[in-house]
Amino acid sequence: EADAANRAKSDFLANMSHEIRTPMNVIVGAASILKRGMLSPDKQAKALDAMFESANSLMSLITDLLDFSKIEARVLNLDIREFDARALVGEVANALELQATAKGLSIQQQNRCACVNDRLFLGDRERIKQIVMNLVANAVKFTEAGTVTLAVDCEPTDQDDVEELRFYISDTGIGIPLDKLGAIFGKFEQADTSITRRFGGTGLGLAIAKSLTEAMGGAISAESEVGIGSTFVVRLPLRRTARAPDDVATQSAKPALKRAHILLVEDNPGNVLVATHFLDEFGYGFDVAGDGLEALEFVKAGRTYDAILMDIQMPRMDGRQATVAIRAFEAVTGAPRTPIIAVTAHALMHDRRACLDAGMDDYIAKPIDTALLQEILKGLIGEAVQTAGTAQPV
């Protein structure tokens, strides 16, 4: 068993090198080609698509490695909040729809229980979404024809306010041999090394999904038949809340703003270029501060903002220090509380907690997911209506 474990680790390290170097080769190679120019618009678009896809692959790999290290070190923290299970299912299906469609597959959503419609659950929404996303992505990866089904239901437990929320992920893919089924949730494992060569992957995904599920007091199981397909079931005992999903939607609705004005606090010129492009695209006006101290000076000078996007690691004054100082200034002067969102490369859960403890309202990790950023901004300040003209950074 020790020899088998060592072989699995060696295979994992060799595969990890491959999984890192392959997308890096695409990114560096495509960037080099684009820099030289002389490409038709169509080929430029294809090169950019390849870079984007490879960058996302690297981000997924980094996320897996960070999660695995936290699980191994037993420092995994859960962020318990209300969430809508029905909306979560829709988000996962929508996120993977293009990937499925490209293979000629469809993703079917099923709500098997009315109870999912009329209540919210308390749990770590992002971790639960991560588990379900991992399983659905695997189903799409290993299915060449047919359908992937994502279903949800719930059932009462012997505790009055706790229900078992269940997610079912079924596919018509290659299936898993019975003698391999017990090993698929192990660290560094895939059912067959030929699968790694054919489909790629780190062998960590299912181990992480299992560990996350168990950290929430739940269980994950699988049934499969070679050539027929597989079904994974995630069971999570979660407390329900008195509020229904529609109550939250009504409560979070905010009046529209003619043009929201954002303060971006960022010291890296490349990040400023990217972030201001997206803010401009969203229809927001913006100012730019080069560090936390300059941001504080802007606020003290009487400039008002609908939200502040705050980097963390900056010279002179970091993002958390700036947030504490801004909150203190607001308290002393009676100025309105400005929503502050951390936008940072510090992506661990304790980093998020430190930002919220400093007085920030939300958190988004780099590289920026533009859809998530827009969703957070809209949730905090309302729908911004684009008007003529574009504000320029100062």
Q: CATH no. for residue 229?
A: 3.30.565.10
Domain residue limits at 354 = 254-381
Place of tokens 């998020």: 352
pLDDT the model gives residue 249: 46
pTM of the full predicted structure? Answer: 0.67
* 3-class secondary-structure state, position 165: strand
pLDDT the model gives residue 202: 63
The answer on 219 and 105 residing in a single domain is: yes
Sheet holding 285-289, edge to edge: 285-289, 261-265, 307-310, 340-344, 362-365
The answer on 42 and 169 residing in a single domain is: no
Amino acid identity, position 303:
R
The answer on 227 and 130 residing in a single domain is: yes
Place of tokens 């509020």: 243
Query: CB under 8 Å to 244, separation ≥6 — which residues?
Result: 117, 118, 119, 120
CATH code of the domain in which 315 resides: 3.40.50.2300
393 found inside a domain? no
Place of tokens 């090198």: 17
312 found inside a domain? yes
- Final residue in a domain of this structure, among 214, 247, 280: 247
391 found inside a domain? no
Of 324, 312, 334, residue with least CA distance to 357: 324
* Number of domains observed in the structure of the chain: 3
388 found inside a domain? no
- Final residue in a domain of this structure, among 19, 38, 72: 72
The answer on 219 and 94 residing in a single domain is: yes
- Final residue in a domain of this structure, among 212, 247, 282: 247
The answer on 21 and 92 residing in a single domain is: no
pLDDT the model gives residue 10: 66
Amino acid identity, position 128:
I
Q: What angle do CA 30, 31, 37 make, to 5 degrees?
A: 90
The tens-digit pLDDT sequence of the chain (394 residues) is 566 656 666 666 666 777 788 888 888 988 988 988 878 889 899 888 888 888 888 888 888 888 888 887 787 778 888 999 999 999 999 888 988 998 999 999 998 877 777 779 999 998 999 999 999 999 999 999 999 999 999 998 888 889 999 999 999 999 999 888 888 887 655 545 555 445 455 668 898 899 999 999 999 999 999 999 999 999 999 998 876 665 544 444 444 444 789 999 999 999 999 899 999 988 899 999 999 999 999 999 999 999 999 999 999 999 999 999 999 999 999 999 999 999 988 766 667 888 889 999 998 888 888 888 888 888 888 744 443 344 433 3
The answer on 145 and 35 residing in a single domain is: no
Give the C-alpha distances (Å, rounded to integers) separating 200 from 15, 66, 99, 197, 354. Answer: 8, 19, 16, 6, 35
Q: Which two tokens stand for residue 365?
A: 């990790």
The answer on 154 and 91 residing in a single domain is: yes
Give the C-alpha distances (Å, rounded to integers) separating 354 from 38, 348, 365. Answer: 48, 10, 14
The answer on 107 and 145 residing in a single domain is: yes
The answer on 235 and 102 residing in a single domain is: yes
365 found inside a domain? yes
The answer on 87 and 67 residing in a single domain is: no
160 found inside a domain? yes
H or E element that contains 214: helix 205-215
Tally helices (H) and strands (E) across the chain. 13, 12
Q: Which two tokens stand for residue 335?
A: 């100025």
190 found inside a domain? yes
The answer on 144 and 283 residing in a single domain is: no
339 found inside a domain? yes
The answer on 345 and 232 residing in a single domain is: no
